[in-house]
């Protein structure tokens, strides 16, 4: 399916199919500077190609994940803009909605509580759209799982206070998080993020044995994006904490 999409791009702008294929190759090598140059060059040739725009959003999120928060925020906001533009051009783009949700999640981490509430509803809508247009989108399910874990950690008292003073926030929590993450794992069992996130969820739930198994599984999966290197270090520390309990 991806190869077919790339071929279609090639018909609209000669040379862009090659640039996108080369950009993807660089991205999966975690050579983000080369990937960005190739994607941005393709965007100069055709600024209205949603396939380029979601790739740029994905790239910017992955770069931002490994930067200090103040340096990362401009990248996340640019990723948000690219994802929104992608969706404007193709309202059925599952990757567009996925990387919109991812960028909003990171933006929310540095936002005030009122803006976080606003973003939370939009993030969940984006995730739901990503899954609606591609039910096999494991990344979207994983983001959904992380979102509901955050809601579960908010707790009943804080959630009630938030609803009282700043308006409604989505329902859901740990059960919804576990369901989404398990589904992400079933779709893509070799992605580190999915196993890591469910491991952290089980730690939050006090299910230590399951947490350790999930984290050990996460550690054995391939490094696919730059943040996975950071995750492996976190996994080692978390397992040490579990072993000391």
Give how far Cα 56 sits from Cα of 43, 139, 192, 240, Å.
9, 16, 22, 37
Cβ atoms of 56 and 82 closer than 8 Å: yes
Structure tokens at 109: 């981490």
pLDDT in tens, 43-79: 998 889 999 999 999 999 999 999 999 999 999 999 9
Give the pLDDT of residue 187: 98
Dist. CA 49–CA 168, nearest whole Å: 36
pTM for this structure? 0.88
Give the pLDDT of residue 113: 62
Give the pLDDT of residue 37: 97
Give the pLDDT of residue 33: 98
Give the pLDDT of residue 115: 65
Give the pLDDT of residue 173: 87
**pLDDT beneath 50: ranges in the chain:** 1-12, 156-166
């Amino acid at each position: 399916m991806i190869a077919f999409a790339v071929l279609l791009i090639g018909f609209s702008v000669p040379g862009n199919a090659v640039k996108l294929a080369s950009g993807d190759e660089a991205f999966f090598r975690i050579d983000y500077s080369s990937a960005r140059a190739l994607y941005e060059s393709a965007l100069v040739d055709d600024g209205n190609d949603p396939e380029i725009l979601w790739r740029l959003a994905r790239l910017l999120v992955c770069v931002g994940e490994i930067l200090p928060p103040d340096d990362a925020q401009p990248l996340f906001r640019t990723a948000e803009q690219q994802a929104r533009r992608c969706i404007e051009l193709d309202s059925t783009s599952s990757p567009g909605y996925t990387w919109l949700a991812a960028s909003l999640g990171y933006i929310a981490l540095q936002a005030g509580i009122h803006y976080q509430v606003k973003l939370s509803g939009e993030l969940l809508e984006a995730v739901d759209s990503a899954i609606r247009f591609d039910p096999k989108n494991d990344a979207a399910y994983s983001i959904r799982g992380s979102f509901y874990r955050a809601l579960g950690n908010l707790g009943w008292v804080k959630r009630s206070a938030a609803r009282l003073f700043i308006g409604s926030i989505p329902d859901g929590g740990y059960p919804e998080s576990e369901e989404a993450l398990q589904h992400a794992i079933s779709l893509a069992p070799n992605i580190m993020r999915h196993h890591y996130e469910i491991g952290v969820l089980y730690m939050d739930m006090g299910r230590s044995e399951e947490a350790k198994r999930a984290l050990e599984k996460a550690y054995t999966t391939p490094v696919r994006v730059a943040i996975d290197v950071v995750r492996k270090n976190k996994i080692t520390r978390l397992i040490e904490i579990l072993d000391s309990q």
